[in-house]
Amino acid sequence: MAERRTTAKKGWRPRKPKTRKATIEVLVPPPPSPLRGLLPTPPEVEEMVESCFKDRPASPAYRLHTTETMKLQYYFSGHEVAYRETPQGHEVLAVGSTEVRRLIRKGSEEELHGVIFAVADLW
């Protein structure tokens, strides 16, 4: 009969995990731009869009959508945004939680129809 082997040694104890130092970087969003309505396209956004579609050309509609989303990111990095999609681009209605809440409280159902609520990605 085969002898049963075990790898466990007498007095074995689980190793304590090594203490590791971690650096936590807190990303604080910069203050949002005071701009509202349709936003101008800054050169930084144009450059970013170019790099996105360097290897994968996109239709004008798709390009416009990406450009508009990146403009929100550029101007309102990390902040809450309420906007509406128009043929000319994203029309910004409110930025930051106070303005967004005010828009919801005061806006009629018609005014809020089609409004998109989002948090702009960090730039």
Partner 1 sequence: MVSPRVLRVPLESYRVPGINETLIRVILKLSVRSAQNRFNEVRFQFDSATSICSMPVVRAVDLGVVMPHKAVELSVKTAGGEKKQMRRQGHIQVVLPALGEDVFDWPCHFVEGAAMTETPLLGLVGVLDNLRLTLEGKYALEAPHGWLLVERAQ
Residues lying near partner 1 in the complex (CB under 8 A) are found at: 48, 51-53, 56-59, 61-62, 65-66, 69-70, 73, 80-82, 97, 100-101, 104, 114, 116-119, 121-123
Comparison of 38 and 48: residue with beta carbon closer to partner 1: 48
Q: How far is the CB of 65 from partner 1 (least distance, A)?
A: 7
Q: How far is the CB of 46 from partner 1 (least distance, A)?
A: 13
Give me Rg for the CA atoms of the chain: 25
Comparison of 38 and 123: residue with beta carbon closer to partner 1: 123
Beta strands, E only, the chain: 37-38, 80-86, 89-95, 115-119
Comparison of 35 and 44: residue with beta carbon closer to partner 1: 44
Q: How far is the CB of 74 from partner 1 (least distance, A)?
A: 10
Q: Give the strand order in the sheet containing 80-86.
A: 37-38, 89-95, 80-86, 115-119
Q: Is 38 helix (H, G, I), strand (E, B) or coil?
A: strand
Q: Could you tell me the CA-to-CA distances from 55 to 42, 49, 50, 58 in Å, in that order? A: 22, 11, 9, 10
Comparison of 13 and 105: residue with beta carbon closer to partner 1: 105
